[in-house]
Amino acid sequence: MMATPFLIMAARPLTARLGGPLSLETVMSGADSVSRRNHAVVVGYGLAGRYLARMLTAAGIECVVIEANPELVRQARADGLAAVYDDGTRRSRLEHAGADGARLVVFAISSPFEERQGVAAAHELALRATIVVRTRYVKSIDDLMELGATHVVVEEFEASLDLRQTTGAVQVAVIRNGEPRYQREPDFAYQVGDTAVLVGDREALDAAGRLFRGD
């Protein structure tokens, strides 16, 4: 149920599974239609969406960004990505971005209502796509899965840690005795045998590894 990166989190496992180089096309304007196939649609170009798009592009998977903030749209285009200025939780805008032919649709936004709306629209439109959503709360997981999400990544766990500030890596879960824990309890402490699920670029993951090892 969990995708490890958005994120920032889902990038590496998803790119490894989805793989296969795709040719990049020229950057589109907001009015251009999209005829791409087997690409990724990333809704939201904040920190998480930006890292994810970067990792997917590096893996040879073309990305189309939908973002409601014009400054972030300009940033995405400056980064060499196709970008649409609009509400990416609307079916019509997902269709405009070619979601019906996409292999991956990611919602990197922070609005519970819009997350649900977007997942439902993507589920109806992008029949062959993996749908990944990052949400703030553990309690949202079941609703999002019922609406059609393939993977849900919870922000609550990462927000409770200072690992990101120290190393740049994000912890999204701890696996203990084969069971994932997505939320950090107040009395949480690591135990021997725990597996920390981290995401980030190579430098951040290396720094986190050194921190865990006590180097």
Here the tokens at position 56 are: 């997917």
Residue with tokens 């040879």: 60
- Which one is predicted more confidently, 173 or 109? 109
* Least confident range of 67-81, 88-102, 144-158, 163-177: 163-177
Q: Is the whole-model pTM more than 0.85?
A: no
- Mapped onto helix, strand or coil, the DSSP state of residue 102 is coil
Q: How far is CA 24 from CA 82, 118, 147, 178, in A?
A: 9, 25, 31, 40
Backbone angles phi, psi at 122, to 5 degrees: -65, -40
pLDDT tens digits for range 60-79: 889 999 999 999 999 999 99
pLDDT tens digits for range 48-59: 888 888 878 887
Q: What is the pLDDT of residue 156?
A: 53
Mean pLDDT within 82-103: 91
- Say yes or no to pLDDT of 94 above 80: yes
Percent of the chain with pLDDT over 70: 73
Query: What residue ranges define each of the domains in the chain, with the CATH number in brackets?
Result: 11-157 (3.40.50.720)
- In sign, the C-alpha dihedral spanning 16, 75, 64, 145 is positive
**pLDDT band at residue 157 under the 50/70/90 scheme:** low
